[in-house]
Amino acid sequence: MTQTTPSLSIVDNLGTTNVAPPDPMIAVGMSGIVTTDNATVSWFDGQGNLVGQEASYNFFLPVGGAGGDMRVVYDRFNDRFVVMSLANGTTGNADMPIAVSKDGNPADGWYFGTVDVGSAALLDYPAVVATGNAIEVQANEFSTSGTYVASDLFSIPTGLGVGGFYDGGPLAKPTELTSTVTGTAIGEPVEPEGTAAASNVIYLYDGAGFGTQAFGGVYYGDAYFEKVVGTTVTQEMVSFTGFPAENYSSFPYPTQPGTTTTITTELGENAVLAGGFIYAVQPYVPASGPDAGVLTTHWMKVDPTNWTIVDQGDVSGATLGAGVATFDATIAADTSGDFAISFTASGPSLYAGSYYVLHRATDPPGSVEAPGTLHVGVAPFDVTSITGGRNRWGDYERTVMPDPHASDTFWLFDQYAATPTASGVGVSGETLGQFTGSSACYCSGTRIATARGRVAVEALREGDLVITAGGRLAPIRWLGHRRTSLRQHPRPFDVMPVRVLAGAFGEGLPCRDLVLSPDHAVFVDGYLVPVRHLVNGQSIVQEMREAITYWHVEVDRHDVILAEGLSCETYLDTGNRDAFENDAGAMALHPEFSPQDFARQVWKEHGCAPILVDPAEPTLRALHTRVLAAATRAPRQSGRSSAAWTAFERVASA
């Protein structure tokens, strides 16, 4: 399999923070995005533009101020964002500050409250998940002297529609659920993703097999899943095939260039529920292979109905360099079966930076595509002078979330090693970005002229020979696909398919209806023209659908091939696909994915023909007029072979 890197759009470099660790978190909703670290709460519109930001203490000032170990989740069942912070123990109750957005747009304001858990202990390291009717909070309970007591799970009613917290009313006292399972603490809640209905079932994940944080105990290499139905907690253990027991306290810490100081990392585990499966990550140390002896992220896909692992694999650091560790990973999945993993990578030749990988539902089992880069590290990282000797990178993260508007599209918010302070203290930079699987062009079912005849695009294989307009046989280097929900897309006209009726460009051109993405270019009179510029409402029309799957074909260089007899482009590398073999990528030039000035420069230097994209261009206007005139003069042609198609097919039989 030829690996590719999904295209990335950097939305905002959010500056730096010297809070150690920053513990970045992100939640993505239908109308906005919220991020937190241990110092700041930020909120954005749906396109990733920053619209509000406050220091954590000031954000929670309506309930006395707070900060530290903050968590944020999106309640997809009620279209709200929930932010929580740790509770500092007092002589009364350890009240935990909580905020919920008034609606799905975080810029519209927040309701604030405190969670009365009825304990005199300190509640630390909170984890929160929204399940529809309640907010479930896991927290580690400490005595007032700082001794770890237990992990607790609290259920807080939302009160929506009955004057409760979601309506701006008071927070109801939570119900505490205590695990009946002995020998292990309650794991972190598994966050639901996608559009699954709310239920009273909660899954808990503990990749260490012993609580959620390294408190000096012995840890095991198995993963524990707990299931809460109502108030009853049961436990199951999932053992990795060929996955040895590990003592987490003996994990080798990641190295970095320019210093002997290694990076202190905690467990780096999380799990999500999407499409009926649980997706989870946790670290381990492979005994053999390219990552032998190096801390490595392991992922798995679990069927919770019978607790079986249906797929699993590693995020190899060896693809980024010898001895590179992958750690502090988080995973996200959509309901189409695509999942993404965001992780930190660091090694002898690589400063600690933020990276990501994608697995499409159609990718081979056990695989992830080539890693992409959110932000490289730029310097050694060392915070030992302010953290008591531990070079803490993070306790927990939630750095990747699916975009609810499109499959195989995900948002990232993560940290990287930035330039240290003047005194040499390490600093974390933070970046928000969005990546997507490669844009595609042909609708499923489109027939492409190849050396073995007319073949539906989804049935093509790497190595197949397609016939170009110049009469050569070009081997396919890579095939990709993308499924897009048009109803939920923020800019549906950018992805709405264009139908070219049979005979729109002359007899047999195309020989039957051809469906393309709007920015896919057809070859006319020596020019490449994105088909959106030729829509005329008669022979070339744009269609609304619930969703559509597009496909694209990459060959050795940008060229023109035949789709249903019509000359159409292959794809041109715009620079976002640098992990392809021979540095040749393919990406449709949708405005949201590729800046126009940059794309035009690439076309100028590497395109196989001039491209017309300005509707006011006289040549493009003339072409549009000519195609419309042909549509009004001639009846629709359907199913007839074009002379061009026949001529090119002779190449295949020669």
Residue 634 — very low, low, confident or very high, per pLDDT cuts 50/70/90?
A: very low
User: Given this model, what pLDDT does residue 58 score?
Assistant: 93
Candidate ranges 277-291, 437-451, 534-548; pick with highest mean pLDDT:
277-291
Residue, of 619 and 175, whose pLDDT is higher: 619
Comparing CA positions, the residue from 625, 466, 448 lying closest to residue 557 is 466
Residue 618 CB contacts under 8 Å (≥ 6 apart), including other chains:
none
528 forms beta bridges with 523, 611
User: Given this model, what pLDDT does residue 621 score?
Assistant: 86
User: Given this model, what pLDDT does residue 337 score?
Assistant: 82
Cis peptide before 21 (omega within 30 of 0): yes
**Cβ count near 581 (within 10 Å):** 12
For the segment 308-330, the average pLDDT, to the nearest whole number, is 93
User: Given this model, what pLDDT does residue 545 score?
Assistant: 67
User: Given this model, what pLDDT does residue 582 score?
Assistant: 29
**Cβ count near 461 (within 10 Å):** 9
Residue 172 — very low, low, confident or very high, per pLDDT cuts 50/70/90?
A: confident
Residue 595 CB contacts under 8 Å (≥ 6 apart), including other chains:
none
Residue 242 in this model has a pLDDT that exceeds 70: no
- Which residue has 């709007």 as its token pair? 518
Mean pLDDT is lowest, of 85-94, 212-221, 226-235, 455-464, for 212-221
For the segment 374-380, the average pLDDT, to the nearest whole number, is 94
* Tens of pLDDT, residues 465-487: 999 888 889 999 877 766 666 65
Residue 231 — very low, low, confident or very high, per pLDDT cuts 50/70/90?
A: low
Residue 324 in this model has a pLDDT that exceeds 90: yes
Candidate ranges 27-41, 358-372, 598-612; pick with highest mean pLDDT:
27-41
Task: Write down the mean pLDDT value for the chain.
Answer: 78
Residue 581 in this model has a pLDDT that exceeds 50: no
Q: Would you give the distance in Å from CA 511 to the centre of its chain? A: 39
Is there a contact between 1 and 461 (Cβ–Cβ < 8 Å)?
no
The structure's pTM equals: 0.69
User: Given this model, what pLDDT does residue 194 score?
Assistant: 65
Residue 541 in this model has a pLDDT that exceeds 90: no
User: Given this model, what pLDDT does residue 104 score?
Assistant: 94
Is there a contact between 66 and 56 (Cβ–Cβ < 8 Å)?
yes
Burial class (CB within 10 angstroms; exposed 0-12, middle 13-18, buried 19+) of 388: exposed
Structure tokens at 396: 């927990």
For the segment 616-644, the average pLDDT, to the nearest whole number, is 64
User: Given this model, what pLDDT does residue 417 score?
Assistant: 96
Residue 184 — very low, low, confident or very high, per pLDDT cuts 50/70/90?
A: very low
Strands 270-274 and 191-192: parallel
